[in-house]
Chain A
Amino acid sequence: MNKLVVDQLTKSFDSSIILQNVSFSIQEGEFVSILGPSGSGKSTLFHLIGGLYPPDSGDIYINGERTTGEKGKISYMPQSPSLLPWRTIMENVILGSEIIEKPNKAEALKMIQQAGLEGYEQAYPSQLSGGMKQRASFIRSLLSPQSLICLDEPFSALDEFTRMDMQEWLLSIWTEHQRSILFVTHNIEEAIFLSDRVIVLSDRPAKVQREFKIPFARPRNSSLMLTREFLNWKKEIFEELKVLV
């Protein structure tokens, strides 16, 4: 069954069209990346799926149910970690579930440990490094009750080393929890390494330019990025993006 269907979504701000007839879908348990240049409207797409504001036209279906303009249907991880500074890490990671239901603290504690944040449960976000904050923010979205997770460029603010670590960590934790993930990035390697499918958005207005099915077997590790096949994929997607410029 389709986890998410985005159907002919169009959105404009102040008479400039940002998204034009964007359509795609995500299967249950699939990891799909949306690749597009900065400012192409990727965050806007998430805001639409999250129901922050309604689209000009088009529809969104989650689990087969029309949810256009409805909030609380996805678990969302924003571009900046957005942890609340007055909440401890423990209180922060249960925020998403707390809004909908009674949070499961034992589960949260287990996740915190899995994320290598053991001992930081009672720390405040300001006491954590950038990578740790992103991990906490990701746990928060995993602990949220919604089954579709939308990640908005979670690693773009991290340095190259931390980013590599985080990508592998994300994959390992995703294999364990098998959720459907929609991942937004402007980094080609990241998109190929993580995803089952990569959807390339064109620039201004954003349309679905092309879809690539990435065949690499899982589990994947970072040595994959050095293989010839990986470079070929990178080249092909790069060519596709170059057409856009």
Chain B
Amino acid sequence: MTQRFIKGWRPVAVLLLFILLWELCSRWFDIPEWLLPPPTLIMETGINSWSDYAPHLFSTIRLTFTGFMIGVMFGLLLAVFLHLLPSVREALYPLLILSQNIPIIVLAPLLVIWFGFGALPKLIIIVLVCFFPIAIAAMDGLRQTNPEWMHYMKMAGATKGQIFRKLEWPNALPSIFSGVKISAAYSVMGAVISEWLGANKGIGVYMTLASSSFRTDRVFVAIFLIMSLSLLFFLLINLLENKMTSWQRKGGGAHE
């Protein structure tokens, strides 16, 4: 713990130095506030207008979380389904990989045309961006089972269900979590972009309003909120991962 703290101070120092430089520059060169507000002003706005943006923030959190959960569930279900049906997987897997190269976000205007401005098209966007990284990571993890363990399980008389529960699923967990982390980052981005397309609440909306009235300080507050949200999300998943795959960090061999 102390070691991590000692190692951690360097990036923190760089960050503080950067903020200090920013503050000094905006004072020395008299940069107008609508162009680049100083960090102190951004902080002030952030504290003072909490009641302004809080509803937006909670709306975005709710949207992100709902979309993310549905996306994860769909991704895992598809992965398990395709894993159990290898011939279908062979047909769909290349298409899934290909679809990863399409920025799903570009489909957003189309979704608005089809589904209007309600919650549905926004959820669909988030689900779509979350879905693929998880499905692919889970499929890869499920497929990469050590053949020796598989032989053992089969010769021990394990049923297909037992092999899945006791071997393939736990074996795929680390891979699944790496997919979940990518999806988490995507889901926050997906939520904000979907709000830009038309919504009456959300950090994306707050941001659009702020930028159209040249309240750059508020734009920065929004950016900061989005970054914090992403980071918080990532940390939560990391925590869950450490709990569920704690065996990965133990070890290094007793005495060989």
For the complex, give the distance between the alpha carbons of A98 and B149 in Å: 15
Residues of A within 8 A of B (CB): 47, 50-52, 71-76, 78-80, 82, 84-87, 95-96, 98-100, 123-130, 132, 144
Interface string of B109-144 (1 = CB under 8 A from A): 000000000000000000000000000000000000
Report B215-256 residues with CB < 8 Å from chain A CB.
245, 247-248, 250-256
Could you mark each residue 172-185 of chain B with 1 if its beta carbon is under 8 Å from any beta carbon of chain A, else 0?
A: 01000000000000
Quick check: which of B15-23, B80-88, B98-106, B155-163 contacts chain A, the rest being far away?
B155-163
Q: Are B157 and A72 in contact (CB under 8 A)?
A: yes
Judge whether B166 is part of the interface by a CB distance below 8 angstroms.
yes
Residues on B with C-beta less than 8 A from A98 are 166
Which B residues touch A95, using CB under 8 A?
Answer: 156, 166
B211 → A minimal CB distance (Å)? 48
Which residues of A lie under 8 Å from residue B253 when comparing CB positions?
126-129
20 additional contacts (CB under 8 A) given A72-B158, A127-B254: A47-B151, A50-B151, A50-B154, A51-B155, A74-B155, A76-B155, A78-B148, A82-B149, A84-B149, A85-B247, A85-B248, A86-B170, A86-B245, A86-B248, A87-B247, A99-B156, A100-B156, A123-B254, A126-B247, A127-B253
A98 to B255, CA, bound (A): 29
Shortest distance between the CB of B151 and any CB in chain A (Å): 6
| Most B-side CB within 10 Å, residue of A47, A75, A124, A132 | A124
Q: Which residues on the A side are within 8 Å of B108 (C-beta)?
A: none
B interface residues with partner A (beta carbon < 8 Å): 146, 148-149, 151-158, 162, 166-167, 170-171, 173, 245, 247-248, 250-256
Closest B residue to A77 by CB, please name it. B152
23 contacts between A and B (CB under 8 A): A71-B157, A73-B157, A76-B152, A78-B148, A79-B148, A80-B148, A86-B170, A86-B173, A86-B245, A86-B247, A95-B166, A96-B156, A98-B166, A99-B157, A99-B162, A125-B251, A126-B247, A126-B251, A126-B252, A127-B250, A127-B251, A129-B256, A132-B254
